[in-house]
Amino acid sequence: MTTCPPKHELRLQDPYAEKLRDLSYDAANQCVQCGYCLPACPTYESMGKESASPRGRINLVKMAAEGKIDIQKDLAKPIDLCLGCRACEVACPVDVPYAKIYEAAKEVIAEKQEEARVQEERIKKSSNFQSKLRDTILKNVFPHKGRLRLIGNVTWLYQQAGVNKLVRKTKAINQISEPMAQFEKVLPRLEFPGKRNKWGSTIPAKGEKKARVAFFAGCIMDAMMYQINRQTVELLCLVGCEVIIPNQQNCCGALHAHQGLTNQARTLAQANIEAFEQSGADYYINNAGGCGAMLCEYDKLFENDEQWYARAKDFVSKSRDITEILVQYGPLPFQKEYHGIITYQDSCHLRNVQKVSDEPRLLLQSVPGATFIEMKGSDRCCASGGIYNILHFNESMNILDEKMKHVKETKATTIVTTNPGCLLQMKLGVERQGSSSDIRSLHLVEVLAEACGIR
Amino acid sequence: MIDRIRDIVPEERIFLDLSERYSYSYDASFGEYLPDIVIQPSNSIEIAQLVKMANKYLIPVYPRGAATSLSGGPLPVEGGMVLDLSQLNKKHIIDRENLLAIVSPGVITAEVHKSAEEVGLFYPPDPSSSHVSTIGGNLLENSSGPKGLKYGTTKEYVIGLEVVTPTGEIIRTGGSTVKNVTGYDLTRLIVGSEGTLGIVTEVILRLIPKPKARKTLLASFDNLVDSGRAITRILSSGILPGAMELMDNACIRAVENYQPSGLPLDAQALVIIEVDGHPSAIEEEIKQCEELCYQEKATNVKVAQTEEERAEIWKARKMVSPAITQMGPTKISEDATVPRSKIPEMMERLKQIREKYQLNLVVFGHAGDGNLHPNIITDKRNIEEMKRVEDAVSEIFEAAVSLGGTLSGEHGIGTLKAPYMELELGKEGLLMMKKIKEAWDPNNILNPGKIFPKPGQTKVVLRA
Ligand SMILES: Cc1cc2nc3c(=O)[nH]c(=O)nc-3n(C[C@H](O)[C@H](O)[C@H](O)COP(=O)(O)OP(=O)(O)OC[C@H]3O[C@@H](n4cnc5c(N)ncnc54)[C@H](O)[C@@H]3O)c2cc1C
Ligand code: SF4
Ligand code: SF4
């Protein structure tokens, strides 16, 4: 029988496999292959094959680290199809650190693809469309808050990032035009810029001051859903927080980390840690589950750097989701009745990483006039997954359409989420069902603001 | 040949890529075997055609459920074709009038529990893996859990099957009646056959009314043997609890270490007892259990007064498995089973084995039915220690068999326990089984390499 040979006996040709082994082999070997994570995994449920399951992916990383399969040819695709929702971590009885394994794989795959791309470019062949699209979006758009603050919507992003040219050139126009057309429909209306809070400003608490908090604006939130950010700040003030918006803050780096661009993620993290340290706040508040999860794991980026590790740890200990603070310092001074049935879709990263799932529900249940109904599978990923829904449109829509059936069962008139990606995805889901005139998709903050009479 | 297969099953359910094939190379036990092809059939006709073809070209065929087997059941040890039956899960009918469930083999066990309960019925077999494992896998391993004590194992609930035989014929066994004496009982032969005698494509399960109420207690003992005696006393007093679970000191410590639950660290044994049935009857029974425990020198007995307290008690038991996994990277999980009256003696023997081989051996399990789970926590990369583990495992099996017990109460034989079959069954007994296998599967294409030891093989080898 063949079992995995001891680590020192492996002699590998591929330096990338070697690196993968260093980064993930011990973690992958913690998996006892019990399969307890299978029912929790949305991609396993929708694709129905082991390679689309956490147990399968971990095993493939192990196989690649042992040099039994090829990183690019065999490992890249199954890893690429993972949503990174981390529901498997919560289900695992032996605490296998899936995110660590996954991100190590992403990083090594990205490096190897980059090398292959450079080589291919030399021989003048166009490379893998999806990886190009991804790199273009990530490298050119997300780290630049200035650029992002200017843009209005994803279409802009699609054009400015040179994606459209790339798409035509690689003849992938059909692959991308349908998703883009559908996304266009659901993009939020922009607010008049004059209404925005200025970065660097301090907004006083209403009434007695209970805490000083620093607000993390988040690049997508800030660019496209600015109104939600403004309402977040107002809600914080209402429960007695003095809010500062640190000027030097940056993109959280989550998309980079999930796509295997770890070094870029590290640089962004350092900038944020610095900016928030200077704010002198008691808590660092965010309102996007995906960013929050990244922020609350900054320490993991610096495990080999003592000094930054300590600073990151401190940052992490102060990081909070908006719902935690509103529950802590609440109740909110509600002013208006909210009508209809509300249902809630967990943000995976808020639920599975930050472990926040009660607070949003408590808040929604406290809204006067509204009826809260839990939908089946509310804890399961909606398959927006960062930019998963752009890169893997069909796979994503299969999961989304299934979710919309559960929404329908609740007869909800409002679907609430706590993450911009999920929010867009919900809007898309409602649009695809043709029920956009009956169902509103809102960020939790929007619902609370409405009930508090904030416009 | 692949083209032939494409004629039978659509392309998207045939996997040939290396990454897909490696994804079906393991289960929850040991070893990794790469199959040549993986197929997800969607009905018995496809399966029958595939099996016929496999007979023609002599390709090994390995049925697989959720691959949670702890004994190597679904491992494609000789390569060939894996049939992934986890996706054959569309049929799920609850027949309330006849108290039946008619399901496809890929349906998850917990889904059957749920749908039965929704109409006030009960499907008792409760392996702790039931939220992952398939009904097919449960059937073929004859799985069970704590409720086995009172309600029996999976085989008590299977009354009819649709099966594709190893030569590719589709047959039906049993039916929809609880009583059935027409001819040989092939249903029972298939149940527990670990996928060596047929591929199950539909299952008819018997359901029972759900017990009205239950009561649970947790008793601590200063001495393992006392706890064994308390268990035997209760069982001979006319009470049949719904479950009786035991944890030794090492388990208690592991659980407290993993997630503090307020368990008494100095207790040598904890016993969980649950009675179920009519509310007034169980009130009486739980009192009696409490008294008997004290009579057998229990140091403390706590009866759960609320549903939360009950959940708390069970949580400690459920935590055992993950908790002990934290003690080392490799867990060898055995399920040797002895007659109830021999539990104290078996506990003593296990203690001796632990000392003799200097291993981290912990014991917990379904004490009420003699089904103990001695677990050895080790590291498969430590070759010297693995050698001692192998010897200890052999000795555990010998102890169980010499006390009138069996190699496996739940997890099956597969590859891991095949070497010990003769020890329990004797030459003739094993030969009889072999003859049955040869009669059903003349070409030895269905799950070859399982259950029967290879010539000259008398011991498990866990080292690479
Ligand atoms: C953490 C953990 C806890 C466990 N706890 C328990 C427990 O408490 N009690 C218990 O009894 N077991 C337990 N098990 C073992 C395992 O879950 C059971 O043996 C289960 O029944 C296997 O089901 P499966 O769907 O995973 O089948 P698999 O492991 O895929 O297959 C099991 C066997 O059945 C065959 N097979 C599967 N489906 C079919 C079919 N349709 N037709 C023909 N052959 C088929 C396979 O070839 C194989 O031989 C546990 C396992 C784990 C990992
Ligand atoms: S639940 Fe954990 S240990 Fe079990 S297969 Fe999944 S990752 Fe591995
Ligand atoms: S992160 Fe989500 S999609 Fe990825 S393996 Fe885990 S459960 Fe599945």
pLDDT digits (tens, 9 = 90+) for B381-412: 888 999 999 999 999 999 999 999 998 888 88
- Domain spanning B1-210 has what CATH number? 3.30.465.10
What spacing in Å lies between the alpha carbon of A383 and ligand 3's midpoint?
10
Mutational test site, ligand 3, from A85, A395, A398, A422, max ligand atoms within 8 Å of CB: A85
Question: Poorest-confidence range of B76-90, B250-264, B317-331?
Answer: B317-331
The residues facing B246 across adjacent strands are: B271, B365
What spacing in Å lies between the alpha carbon of B224 and ligand 2's midpoint?
32
Q: How confident is the model at residue A384 (pLDDT cuts 50, 70, 90)?
A: confident
Q: Read off the pLDDT of residues A439-450 as tens digits, 9 standing for 90 and up.
A: 899 999 999 999
Give yes or no: residues A405 and A301 share one domain: no
Q: How confident is the model at residue A149 (pLDDT cuts 50, 70, 90)?
A: very low
The residues facing B206 across adjacent strands are: B100
Q: Which of A143, A149, A244, A229 is nearest to A199 (CA)?
A: A244
Q: Closest residue of A to B129, CA-based?
A: A36
If one compares B94 and A114, the residue with the highest pLDDT of the two is B94
Q: pLDDT at residue A7 above 50?
A: no
Give yes or no: residues A49 and A103 share one domain: yes
Give yes or no: residues A205 and A317 share one domain: yes
Token couple for B110: 């917990």
User: Closest Cα of chain A to B269: distance in Å?
Assistant: 23
ipTM of the shown complex: 0.91
Cβ(A250)–Cβ(A214) below 8 Å: no
Q: pLDDT at residue A168 above 50?
A: no
Q: Read off the pLDDT of residues A262-311 as tens digits, 9 standing for 90 and up.
A: 888 888 999 899 889 988 889 999 988 888 889 999 998 898 888 899 99
Q: How confident is the model at residue B463 (pLDDT cuts 50, 70, 90)?
A: low
Partner residue opposite A34 with nearest CB, options B28, B86, B415: B28
Q: How confident is the model at residue A169 (pLDDT cuts 50, 70, 90)?
A: very low
Name chain B contacts of A33, Cβ cutoff 8 Å.
26-28, 67
Task: Tell whether ligand 3 has an atom less than 6 A from the beta carbon of residue A61.
Answer: no
Task: Indicate which atom in ligand 2 lies nearest the CA of residue A38.
Answer: 6
Percent with pLDDT over 90 in chain B = 68
User: Closest Cα of chain A to B31: distance in Å?
Assistant: 5
Q: Read off the pLDDT of residues A401-437 as tens digits, 9 standing for 90 and up.
A: 999 999 999 999 999 999 888 888 998 898 888 887 8
- Mean pLDDT across chain A, nearest whole number? 82
The answer to whether residue A236 is domain-embedded is yes
The answer to whether residue A339 is domain-embedded is yes
Q: Whose CA is nearest to atom 1 of ligand 2?
A: A92
If one compares A231 and A290, the residue with the highest pLDDT of the two is A231
Mutational test site, ligand 3, from A46, A80, A98, max ligand atoms within 8 Å of CB: A98
The answer to whether residue A177 is domain-embedded is no
Partner residue opposite A69 with nearest CB, options B22, B26, B329: B22
User: Closest Cα of chain A to B462: distance in Å?
Assistant: 9
Q: Whose CA is nearest to atom 3 of ligand 2?
A: A31
Mutational test site, ligand 2, from A24, A26, A30, A32, max ligand atoms within 8 Å of CB: A32
Q: Does A68 touch chain B (CB under 8 A)?
A: yes
pLDDT value at residue A196? 58
pLDDT value at residue A153? 40
Task: Indicate which atom in ligand 3 lies nearest the CA of residue A89.
Answer: 6
Q: Read off the pLDDT of residues A204-218 as tens digits, 9 standing for 90 and up.
A: 888 888 889 999 887
Task: Tell whether ligand 2 has an atom less than 6 A from the beta carbon of residue A39.
Answer: no
Name chain B contacts of A7, Cβ cutoff 8 Å.
381
Q: Which of A273, A218, A275, A268 is nearest to A244 (CA)?
A: A275
Partner residue opposite B20 with nearest CB, options A7, A34, A49: A49
Q: Which of B17, B22, B77, B82 to mutate to test the interface with A (most CBs of A within 10 A)?
A: B22
Task: Tell whether ligand 2 has an atom less than 6 A from the beta carbon of residue A99.
Answer: no
If one compares A191 and B182, the residue with the highest pLDDT of the two is B182
Yes or no, beta carbons of A48 and B20 under 8 Å apart:
no
The answer to whether residue A130 is domain-embedded is no
Q: Domain holding A261: CATH number?
A: 3.40.50
Q: pLDDT at residue A154 above 60?
A: no
User: Closest Cα of chain B to A153: distance in Å?
Assistant: 37
pLDDT value at residue A163? 46
CA distances from A422 to A84, A384, A412, B204 (A): 13, 6, 17, 42
Name chain A contacts of B86, Cβ cutoff 8 Å.
48
Q: Whose CA is nearest to atom 8 of ligand 3?
A: A41
What spacing in Å lies between the alpha carbon of A30 and ligand 3's midpoint?
17
Give yes or no: residues A315 and A392 share one domain: no
Yes or no, beta carbons of B322 and A56 under 8 Å apart:
no
Q: How confident is the model at residue B154 (pLDDT cuts 50, 70, 90)?
A: very high
Yes or no, beta carbons of B132 and A36 under 8 Å apart:
yes
pLDDT, mean of residues A132-147: 56
Q: pLDDT at residue A131 above 70?
A: no
Give yes or no: residues A343 and A285 share one domain: no
User: Closest Cα of chain B to A451: distance in Å?
Assistant: 36
What spacing in Å lies between the alpha carbon of B259 and ligand 3's midpoint?
25
Q: Read off the pLDDT of residues B407-429 as tens digits, 9 standing for 90 and up.
A: 888 888 888 888 888 888 899 99
Yes or no, beta carbons of B17 and A78 under 8 Å apart:
no
CATH architecture entry for B213-402: 3-Layer(aba) Sandwich (3.40)
What range does the domain containing A208 cover?
193-327
Return the SS3 of A81: coil
Residues 298-327 of B with CB under 8 A from A: 321-322, 325-326
What spacing in Å lies between the alpha carbon of A87 and ligand 1's midpoint?
23
pLDDT value at residue A132? 64
The answer to whether residue A164 is domain-embedded is no
The answer to whether residue A153 is domain-embedded is no
If one compares A432 and A147, the residue with the highest pLDDT of the two is A432
Q: How confident is the model at residue A258 (pLDDT cuts 50, 70, 90)?
A: confident
Task: Tell whether ligand 2 has an atom less than 6 A from the beta carbon of residue A30.
Answer: no
Ligand nearest to the CA of B66: 1
Q: Closest residue of A to B324, CA-based?
A: A94
Name chain B contacts of A28, Cβ cutoff 8 Å.
none
Q: pLDDT at residue B164 above 50?
A: yes
Q: Domain holding A400: CATH number?
A: 3.40.50.10700
Q: pLDDT at residue A110 above 90?
A: no
Q: Does B382 touch chain A (CB under 8 A)?
A: no
Cβ(A326)–Cβ(A235) below 8 Å: yes
Name chain A contacts of B322, Cβ cutoff 8 Å.
93-95
- Mean pLDDT across chain B, nearest whole number? 92
Q: Read off the pLDDT of residues B189-231 as tens digits, 9 standing for 90 and up.
A: 999 999 999 999 999 999 999 999 999 999 999 988 889 889 9
Give yes or no: residues A64 and A85 share one domain: yes
Give yes or no: residues A361 and A314 share one domain: no
Q: Closest residue of B to A48, CA-based?
A: B87
Cβ(B263)–Cβ(B252) below 8 Å: yes
Ligand nearest to the CA of A380: 3
What spacing in Å lies between the alpha carbon of B132 and ligand 2's midpoint?
11
Last residue of a domain, one of A119, A147, A182: A119
The answer to whether residue A126 is domain-embedded is no
Task: Tell whether ligand 1 has an atom less than 6 A from the beta carbon of residue B410.
Answer: yes
What is the number of domains present in chain A?
3
Last residue of a domain, one of A268, A294, A327: A327
Does the predicted model carry a pTM greater than 0.90?
A: no
Task: Tell whether ligand 2 has an atom less than 6 A from the beta carbon of residue A173.
Answer: no
Yes or no, beta carbons of B26 and A6 under 8 Å apart:
no
pLDDT value at residue B31? 87
A105: alpha, beta or left, given left = phi > 0 and alpha = psi -120 to 50? Answer: alpha
What spacing in Å lies between the alpha carbon of A88 and ligand 3's midpoint?
6
Tokens 């069909």 belong to which residue? A394
Q: How confident is the model at residue B459 (pLDDT cuts 50, 70, 90)?
A: confident
Q: Read off the pLDDT of residues A339-367 as tens digits, 9 standing for 90 and up.
A: 889 999 999 989 999 999 999 999 999 99
Give yes or no: residues A358 and A319 share one domain: no
CA distances from A95 to A89, A297, B28, B250, B318 (A): 6, 16, 16, 20, 15
Yes or no, beta carbons of B67 and A50 under 8 Å apart:
yes
Q: Read off the pLDDT of residues B59-77 as tens digits, 9 standing for 90 and up.
A: 999 999 999 999 999 999 9
Question: Poorest-confidence range of A201-210, A446-455, B95-104?
Answer: A201-210
Q: Read off the pLDDT of residues B316-367 as tens digits, 9 standing for 90 and up.
A: 888 888 788 788 878 888 888 999 888 888 888 998 999 999 999 999 888 8
If one compares B322 and A163, the residue with the highest pLDDT of the two is B322
How many C-beta atoms surround the C-beta of residue A376 within 10 A?
12
Give yes or no: residues A303 and A338 share one domain: no
Give yes or no: residues A349 and A318 share one domain: no
**Domain extents in chain B:** 1-210, 213-402
Size of interface A-B (CB pairs under 8 A): 100
Residues 300-359 of A with CB under 8 A from B: none
Q: Domain holding A34: CATH number?
A: 1.10.1060.10
Q: Does B84 touch chain A (CB under 8 A)?
A: yes
Give yes or no: residues A30 and A72 share one domain: yes
